Structure 1
């Protein structure tokens, strides 16, 4: 579903909602989380997963990323996952991560052995709104990984 709780069309990105008889009754000993979890849509209860997905023409769901990878920068919402997805469309980038630095800068770290900042800026300018364009791009041969073999965001 989109941000207005409307169904999205084929190949359009939206948040995955889960409903039906199998929807959970709540979080054990966490009434505060339970109160926020179910969402009513057209008189039915759904659980918002926070996962962004796309459905293809064969009705298969493809995972895109997490919805809650959003930050506030100068009073505006910035979806870091959207920046990362746009940069990953560049063939020579194998991994990237966007972070907020010192409450005022948006920095994109990219893993690539052959890229220049101008290409990165052009990709962002052609697909993102101005407030979502990183002010600094840092290119590394390899991004650091944590113990789970995921990009270390710290």
Structure 2
């Protein structure tokens, strides 16, 4: 994966930069998913009490808010005109891995509460879809100003 990533960066075409951005994003999501699974396994082994409904709603809202904030920051990084286009796209791609990563990590932490885990996984899947579609718009040709 890293060889393909480096090759795409060297090519420098918009399509290659988009592939590199998607690879960077995928690597970042994998780095969040692995600890989430490990934490979930530990939580499942320990067992635990389920959260009351109000607490589950608060956790889901917190996860959605943090994911939204991560998306805004990644989008802001992609639009920076004071850095090279490739750097802006890759920075945004790495940062955007937090968008689905936050709900994934929180899902692992709340494993005994399966309804909440399902809600957080659905949130992570939706966040992944939004970021995946956004990555193409965040890659701009070299020398161009802000993406559209």
User: Hey, which of these two has a bigger chunk of strand by percent?
Assistant: 1
User: Hey, which of these two has a bigger chunk of helix by percent?
Assistant: 2
Higher relative contact order (CA 8 A, sep 6+): 2
Using the size of structure 1 for normalisation, the TM-score is 0.23
